[in-house]
Amino acid sequence: MNCFNEKCESMSREEMRKVQSERLIKTVHRVYNNVPFYKKKMDELGVLPGDIQSVDDITKLPFTTKQDLRDNYPFGLFAAPMEDVIRIHASSGTTGKPTVVGYTKNDIDCWAETMARTFACAGGTKNDIIQVAYGYGLFTGGLGAHYGAEKLGAAVIPISGGNTKKQIMLMQDFGTTMIACTPSYILYVAETMEEMGIDPKSLKLKAGCFGAEPWTDQMRKDIEEKLGILAIDIYGLSEIMGPGVSSECPAKCGLHVNEDYYIPEVIDPESLQPLGENIQGELVFTTVTKEALPLLRYRTRDISTLHYEKCDCGRTLTRMSRVAGRSDDMLIIRGVNVFPSQIESVLLEIGDTAPHYQIIVDRVGSLDIMEVQVEMTQEMFSDQVRKLEDVEKKIKMNLESTLGISSKITLVEPKTIQRSEGKAKRVIDLRKEKR
Ligand code: DLL
């Protein structure tokens, strides 16, 4: 097992519960004493810090939502004085003000540790050359990966996102062995290599840490085959820390949650009751080491399941399944719940098209309609019309049997769907504009 911190990543359940309990108790006192919002919420629920004796009491604590962060914009939920805050990040909301997060020196050290674990999970060591192609700036991806790679002792190339030809040149010249970026961006990088006539397998690249957006196992296979690398899913969110909350290992059977830092729960989003192992629901995290912005039971809106048994890799850290989507990304089409990831799986399973697609939802009269635009590969583009019609039909049928609703399939010319350098925008919901 290639671990950054074997002792913490393979603790027994009892040891882990002890660490979590001690840290949770400290965190609860910290927020009750320093954050008026939490004091008020806990007082309303009739819970005092002394009522939290162990991690079992976590369900007595109040939830926190993104709206709470917005209502306390920018620094209202900070639990440390500004003189102790050394970094501020923010996630760009689609509307209005961003969500602001802050870090003390110790928070940055903890974050670096969890990201170093992430790279090690993907096989990284101090001998690696890691190209960080997540965006640097207010987004947590770039700097989060950067500090983790440095902590691991690897050589970091802080190139940030975009500038694709230069990314490829540096990969060749510097002998990059690992890359960190969104899965949609690595596909764009692979496509650009092809255009430049570069065989990806001639590079030293051996693994990539991909995340920040939902992607499927089928997309992983595609990336692994195209580039000849190990593609690892990494997860995180700025409110909790950034990347480094959890990551897959080469066993690829769920993402190991760094639960000595972030305690995971899965709840029913309607009743708010905790759900058992293997039951799908909304992921909730409580941070237990954070000083600047500790959050109790933060509702992520991400859909996943938890698994507690030891992994084949030797880690005992709880695993979360690959995120199936966000509850607020879920489309309701003619009353049926549809996740973009279901559509991605179907398209990539059929495998005749390029892995670039976009979903357009509209309302005509009172009827919802969904169109899936899928890019043709260059070879398909020169195929006979009959063959294209067959592919279109096959996609339509498979989608209908998976989703239970019909949709319009449009095959579009190669390279017409916009490529992303960061998070891909898969859905255009025109109904929103008509409301
Ligand atoms: O995306 C942090 C990050 C950076 C994670 C780099 C991984 C790699 P935010 O911008 O706050 O932070 O967005 C967080 O992105 O709630 C999920 O909905 C989604 N997300 C992140 N990682 C994954 C993943 C960063 N591996 C939101 N699979 C989260 C699916 C993901 N969704």
Pocket test for ligand 1, best of 186, 213, 219, 237 (most atoms within 8 A of CB): 237
| pTM > 0.85: yes or no | yes
Q: Does the beta carbon of 323 lie inside 6 Å of ligand 1?
A: yes
Q: How high does pLDDT run on average in the chain?
A: 96
Asked if 322 and 219 count as a contact pair (C-beta separation under 8 A), the reply is no
Q: Does the beta carbon of 203 lie inside 6 Å of ligand 1?
A: no
Q: Mean pLDDT throughout 367-382?
A: 92
d(CA 415, CA 156): 31
Q: Mean pLDDT throughout 364-391?
A: 91
Q: Above 90 in pLDDT, residue 384?
A: no
Pocket test for ligand 1, best of 235, 245, 293, 295 (most atoms within 8 A of CB): 235
Tens of pLDDT along 94-110? 567 899 999 999 999 99
Structure confidence at residue 277 (pLDDT): 96
d(CA 285, CA 58): 11
Structure confidence at residue 95 (pLDDT): 63
Tens of pLDDT along 56-86? 999 999 999 999 999 999 999 999 999 999 9
| Residues, the chain | 435
pLDDT-derived band at 93, boundaries 50, 70, 90: low
Compute CA 291 distance to the chain's CA centroid, rounded to the nearest angstrom: 23
pLDDT-derived band at 435, boundaries 50, 70, 90: low
Structure confidence at residue 216 (pLDDT): 95
Structure confidence at residue 97 (pLDDT): 84
> Considering only CA atoms, which residue is closest to atom 13 of ligand 1?
237
Instruction: Give the residue among 217, 141, 126, 151 at the shortest CA–CA distance from 182.
Output: 141
d(CA 345, CA 217): 8
Q: Mean pLDDT throughout 271-300?
A: 97
d(CA 281, CA 267): 5
Q: Which is the closest atom of ligand 1 to the Cα of 245? A: 5
Q: Mean pLDDT throughout 413-433?
A: 92
Q: Does the beta carbon of 214 lie inside 6 Å of ligand 1?
A: yes
Structure confidence at residue 151 (pLDDT): 98
Q: Above 70 in pLDDT, residue 187?
A: yes
Domains present along the chain, CATH in parentheses: 1-252 (3.40.50.12780), 331-434 (3.30.300.30)
Q: Identify the helix (H) or strand (E) that includes residue 121.
A: helix 105-121
Q: Above 80 in pLDDT, residue 175?
A: yes
**Helices 140-152 & 105-121 angle (0-180, nearest 10):** 70
Q: In sequence order, what are the residues at sequence separation of 6 or more whose Cβ sits closer than 8 angstroms to the Cβ of residue 389?
A: none
Asked if 9 and 316 count as a contact pair (C-beta separation under 8 A), the reply is yes
